[in-house]
Structure 1
Amino acid sequence: MLVVIEGTHDIEFLTRISTLLHADDPTLPDLAGMERNREIIFLPISGHPQAWGKRLAPLNLPEFHLYDREESPVTELRQQTVATINQRCCCRAMLTSKRSLENYLHPHAIQAVADITPQFGDQDCVATDVAQRVFDSSHEDYSWSQLTRRAQVRLTNRVKHWLNTSAVEQMTIPLLQERDPDGEIISWLETIDQLAKTA
């Protein structure tokens, strides 16, 4: 089956968080193991989900799509795409309730990797917030606001990588339950598991 996500950072997040959850509850799938066993194929689409609503239909494979909520008006476009995908047989699409996958990280997990104390809400851009805090904490005479937009984007992308790898690896079940009390991530994994069984 296909697991369609926006980018490679999402693969890093999902494989690591599913390994954590699988170790706690073996009935939940370990996506890293499923990928190794060729049960699933991750397909990073580099944004623009609306272009993928029906594009994969000719393959006749089960599909799970997960897209970041982002901000309006992008959110509304993605909601339409999710609705279109969910009308197709053996396909499920979901939009995160938080802005992006990094918003499911606990600040303690981030603090364990970078010696900063992040503060963010569910709809904040975590990578940008953390990149700014890391930069400002290590530069006394130069601030984030003085950087060019290009430099800010480069640093944010670097932070985004370790947020989805090293910081996810610092997550524990209690930290995840605190950040995802409704079990949204578990629901994604359960849906992937159900779709994989139809393949």
Structure 2
Amino acid sequence: MLFVVEGTNDIEFLRRISILLHADAESLPNLAEMEQHGELIFVPFGGGHVRAWSQRLAPLQRAEFHLYDHELPPETELRRQAAETVNRRSRCQAVLTNKRCLENYLHPDAIFAASGIRVDFDDFDCVAEIVARKLYQQRPGEIPWQLQARRSQSRMANRAKRWLNTTVVEQMTRDMLRESDPNGEIQSWLLAIKDLLAA
């Protein structure tokens, strides 16, 4: 099976969160284990041009699950269109996250456990930027965040994103996930993958 995601940070998040959910319910797939056994291959397309990937892998005739970040309009509509194209194909399913991106499914307590900093964010905030700014503000003697070059801010946000999708995900508990994902959206993706594999 092919699991199409936007980038390597998504892969890190999904491997780790599936281990957590699998430990709680063995019927849910452990994506990291499936990957090790060659049952699943993550395909990161690097963001951007999501519509180009809606048909690109079709010649391989494999089951495909596509997970696209919701992002913000007008990008959201382009992603919806790409998902509709995938969903018209046999043994393929695509979904958009209900939140902006995977970091929005993290619990603030997991971030605190990993770093000792408190942050608040909603479903459509850029969590990586909020965390990068907060971590930066912990460093004494630095110039204010808003005076940093946009490129420097972006680099720090990218480092924070990687950290959130690895170290912080590992601090998540089942109770935290129930709070941050009360509708069981992540679990629904794993169930969809299980169904596609069984088809």
1:45 equivalent in structure 2: 45
Show the counterpart of 1:19.
19
Q: Within 5 A, what are the aligned runs for 1:1-199?
A: 1-47=1-47, 48-198=49-199
With normalisation by structure 2, the TM-score equals 0.97
1:196 to partner: Cα distance: 1.9
> What letter matches 2:86 in structure 1?
I
CA distance in 1 between counterparts of 2:112 and 2:95 reads 29
Structure 2: which 5+ runs fail to align?
Answer: none
Amino acid at match of 2:198: K
Is the 1:40–1:196 Cα contact (8 Å) retained in structure 2? no
- Distance in structure 2 (CA, Å) of the matches to 1:14 and 1:196: 17
Q: TM-score, normalised by structure 1?
A: 0.97
Range moving further from structure 2, 88-97 or 133-142: 133-142
Superposition RMSD in Å:
0.8
Q: Distance in 2 between matches of 1:107 and 1:22?
A: 22
Shift of 1:137: 2.0
Displacement, 1:20? 0.3
Question: Take 1:35 and 1:88, find their aligned partners in 2: how far apart are those partners?
Answer: 23
2-structure distance, mates of 1:11, 1:55: 19
4+ long deviations beyond 3 Å: none
| C-alpha distance in 1 between matches for 2:30 and 2:82 | 27
**SS class of match (1:169):** helix
The percent of aligned pairs where both chains have the same amino acid is 55
Which residues of structure 1 form unaligned runs of 5+? none
Deviations along 1:54-93, whole A, 9 cap, x unmatched? Answer: 1111110000000100000000110111111101000000
Deviations along 1:151-183, one digit per CA (max 9) or x if unpaired, are 111111111111000100000000000000100
Q: Is the 8 A contact 1:127 1:157 kept in 2?
A: yes
